C-alpha cells in the first residue's frame, strides 16, 4: 500500500455512468496502463438508534484487503484518527450491537483495476440500493507513504485521466508530511458516500482544449 | 486498444469476491454469523502461597510444552440505550507481546443452567488496530473498568488453562510493576474450551480435567451475578 487518493468524476451533461466509465477506461488505456483484474468495495452505513449519545459510522470492506474490515465514525473532522482496522469477524460483532446501531445503507463500488508502472488505478461506479450514484477513480502510488513527496506525479496523471486540473496540493488529510495509512483511504470514500448528490459542486473546471493538447504532447 | 469494449466487458463479468458470503453462512432461518464462538469454562481460585503447587500439578497434567507467560491489559466499555439495555465490550492488549494486535471482544450473557455442566457464554473476538479505544469512545461507549491480568497459560489438547493474578493500576495506563496493586490475595484459575456455537458440549472434558486438579483447586460453575449481589469483604 502507498499513497492513495480518491477522485470523483464529474459527469458532463447527458453522460451516463456507464459512458463515463468507458471514457475513463479509454483515457487510462491511453496512458499505457494495463488491465489487471477486478476490484470491489462494499461500505455499510450504520445509524445510531440514539443520536444524542451515540454516533453513526461506516464500515468498508474491499477485495484489496479481503480479511480486513475498516470502520470509521461519520465525522467530518479530518485530523481525527478514528478509523480502525479489524479482522473480518467484525461483521459478527456488529450483529450483536444491532439494538444500538442498525445498517441503513449499503454502497458498492465495482470496476476494473489497472496497473501503470508503480501506480494502481481503480475506476468504478458507486451504487447504492441498485442505483448508480457517481463514478470514482482511485489512484494509488505504491512506493511512497508521503503525499507531499509524490504529489507532482499524482497531479500529472490525475489531470490527464480526469480531464481537469486537480489541486496543486494533496488533500488536507495528507498534507504536512503525514504518513499515509489506510484510514485516509477510508475517509475519502466515506466523504464521497456521505456527500449528497446535489453537492457535486466544488469541482474545478475541466481543462481547456489547448491545455489538453499541450498535455498530450508532453505525454 | 479498444477501451470501450474492454470497459463494458469488464463491468459485466462477475468479480467472484463477496466478503458477505465469506463472513457469513446463509441458512433457512436467514443469515447466521459464523464469527460467534461459545466459550465453556470452569473457574476457581488458589491462595497466592499455594500457586507453586498448582503450577507443578499443571506441568504434569498439561501438554509437554513450556507454559506461556502473559500480561494482558483489559478495559471494559459499556453503552446504555435509552430503554435501559446495556452492552459491554472488552478491549485487551498483550503487554508481553507488544506487536500483537489489540483485541475487541463481545462477551454475551453467562448461561449457568442446571442442565449445563459448566458455564457457557457466547463471544466474538476481533483483532484490531490500537486506536480501537478512541473509536469506541467516539461511538459513545464509556470506559468502565480497567485491570491487568498477569499469569501463565497452559494447554491440554483443546483445553486452555489460565492461572492469573488480577491487578489494578494506581494510575490509568501505568502498568509498570511498581504501579500495580493486586486485587486479591489469590490467583484465578480458569479452564475453558472455545467451540463453534451449536457444536458438541465439551463439558465432560472440562469436568474430567477439574477432577484431576483437586484438591489443589476446586473448579466450579461460578455465577458472577451471585457474587456481585452479595457483599463479600476481601473479594
Classify the C-alpha dihedral B131-B132-B138-B144 as positive or negative: negative
E-state strands within A117-181 = 119-128, 131-141
Low-confidence ranges of chain B (pLDDT < 50): 1-31, 235
Residue A142 has pLDDT above 90, yes or no: yes
Report if residue B7 sits inside a domain.
Answer: no
The radius of gyration computed from the CA coordinates of chain A, to the nearest angstrom, equals 18
List the CATH number of the domain containing B111. Answer: 2.40.320.10
| Helix/strand/coil for B59 | helix
The predicted pLDDT at position B73 comes to: 93
Cα–Cα distance, A37 to B6 (Å, whole number): 12
| Res. A14 pLDDT band, cuts 50 70 90 | confident
Mean pLDDT across the stretch A88-108? Answer: 89
Neighboring chain A residues of B79 at a CB cutoff of 8 Å = 54, 100
Give yes or no for a cis peptide into B215 (omega within 30° of 0). Answer: yes
Cα–Cα distance, B58 to A140 (Å, whole number): 53
Report if residue B209 sits inside a domain.
Answer: yes
On whether the CB atoms of residues B2 and B163 are closer than 8 A, the answer is no
Whether A89 sits inside 8 A of B7 (CB atoms) is no
Q: How many structural domains comprise chain B?
A: 1
Whether B15 sits inside 8 A of A61 (CB atoms) is no
Neighboring chain A residues of B8 at a CB cutoff of 8 Å = 18, 22
Report if residue B235 sits inside a domain.
Answer: no
What are the beta bridge partners of residue B81? Answer: none
Report if residue B152 sits inside a domain.
Answer: yes
B4, B10, B124: residue with CB nearest A112: B10
A-chain residue closest to B123, CA distance = A93
The predicted-structure confidence for A156-190, as pLDDT tens digits, reads as follows 999 999 988 888 888 888 888 888 988 889 989 98
Q: Which residue, among A25, A218, A93, has the nearest Cα to B35 in the 3D structure?
A: A93
| Res. A80 pLDDT band, cuts 50 70 90 | low
The predicted pLDDT at position B80 comes to: 87
Report if residue B94 sits inside a domain.
Answer: yes
> Domain limits at B52?
35-229
CA distance to A28, A206, B43, B163, per residue, from A72 (Å):
31, 32, 37, 37
Q: Which three cell numbers stand for residue B170?
A: 494506581
The predicted pLDDT at position B230 comes to: 66
Report if residue B24 sits inside a domain.
Answer: no
Neighboring chain A residues of B7 at a CB cutoff of 8 Å = 21-22, 24-26, 112
Report if residue B140 sits inside a domain.
Answer: yes
This complex has an ipTM of 0.82
Classified by CATH at the fold level, domain A3-218 comes out as Hypothetical Protein Pfu-838710-001 (2.40.320)
The predicted pLDDT at position A20 comes to: 93
Amino acid at each position: 500500500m502507498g499513497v492513495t487518493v480518491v477522485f470523483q468524476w464529474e459527469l458532463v451533461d447527458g453522460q451516463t455512468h456507464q459512458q463515463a466509465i468507458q471514457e475513463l477506461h479509454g483515457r487510462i488505456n491511453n496512458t499505457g496502463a494495463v488491465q489487471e483484474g477486478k476490484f470491489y468495495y462494499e461500505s455499510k452505513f450504520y445509524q445510531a438508534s440514539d443520536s444524542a449519545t451515540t454516533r453513526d459510522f461506516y464500515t468498508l470492506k474491499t477485495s484489496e484487503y479481503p480479511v480486513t474490515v475498516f470502520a470509521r465514525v461519520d465525522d467530518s473532522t479530518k485530523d481525527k484518527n478514528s478509523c480502525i482496522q479489524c479482522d473480518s469477524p467484525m461483521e459478527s460483532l456488529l450483529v450483536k450491537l444491532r439494538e444500538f446501531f442498525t445498517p441503513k445503507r449499503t454502497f458498492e463500488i465495482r470496476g476494473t483495476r489497472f496497473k501503470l508502472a508503480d501506480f494502481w488505478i481503480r475506476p468504478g461506479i458507486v451504487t447504492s440500493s441498485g442505483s448508480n450514484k457517481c463514478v470514482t477513480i482511485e489512484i494509488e502510488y505504491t512506493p511512497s507513504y508521503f503525499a507531499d513527496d509524490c504529489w507532482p506525479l499524482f497531479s500529472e496523471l490525475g489531470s490527464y485521466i480526469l480531464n481537469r486540473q486537480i489541486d496543486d496540493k494533496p488533500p488536507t488529510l495528507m498534507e504536512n508530511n503525514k504518513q499515509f495509512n489506510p484510514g485516509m483511504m477510508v475517509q475519502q470514500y466515506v466523504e464521497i458516500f456521505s456527500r449528497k448528490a446535489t453537492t457535486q459542486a466544488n469541482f474545478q473546471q475541466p481543462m481547456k482544449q489547448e491545455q489538453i493538447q499541450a498535455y498530450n504532447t508532453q505525454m | 486498444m479498444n477501451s470501450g469494449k474492454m470497459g463494458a466487458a469488464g463491468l459485466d463479468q462477475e468479480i467472484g469476491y463477496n466478503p458477505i458470503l465469506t463472513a457469513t453462512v446463509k441458512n433457512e432461518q436467514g443469515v447466521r454469523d459464523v464469527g460467534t464462538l461459545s466459550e465453556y469454562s470452569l473457574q476457581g481460585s488458589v491462595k497466592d502461597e499455594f500457586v507453586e503447587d498448582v503450577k507443578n500439578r499443571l506441568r504434569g497434567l498439561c501438554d509437554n510444552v513450556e507454559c506461556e507467560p502473559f500480561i494482558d491489559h483489559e478495559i471494559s466499555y459499556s453503552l446504555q440505550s435509552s430503554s435501559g439495555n446495556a452492552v459491554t465490550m472488552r478491549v485487551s492488549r498483550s503487554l508481553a507481546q507488544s506487536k500483537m494486535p489489540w483485541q475487541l471482544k463481545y462477551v454475551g450473557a453467562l448461561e449457568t443452567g442446571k442442565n449445563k455442566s459448566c458455564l457457557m457464554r457466547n463471544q466474538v473476538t476481533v483483532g484490531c488496530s490500537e486506536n480501537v479505544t478512541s473509536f469506541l469512545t467516539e461511538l459513545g461507549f464509556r470506559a468502565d473498568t480497567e485491570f491487568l491480568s498477569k499469569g501463565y497459560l497452559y494447554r491440554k489438547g483443546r483445553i486452555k488453562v489460565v492461572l492469573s493474578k488480577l491487578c489494578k493500576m494506581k494510575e490509568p495506563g501505568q502498568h509498570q510493576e511498581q504501579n500495580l496493586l493486586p486485587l486479591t490475595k489469590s490467583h484465578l484459575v480458569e479452564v475453558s474450551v472455545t467451540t463453534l456455537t451449536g457444536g458438541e458440549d465439551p463439558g465432560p472434558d472440562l469436568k474430567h480435567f477439574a477432577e484431576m486438579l483437586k484438591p489443589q483447586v476446586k473448579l466450579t460453575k461460578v455465577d458472577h451475578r451471585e457474587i456481585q449481589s452479595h457483599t463479600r469483604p476481601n473479594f
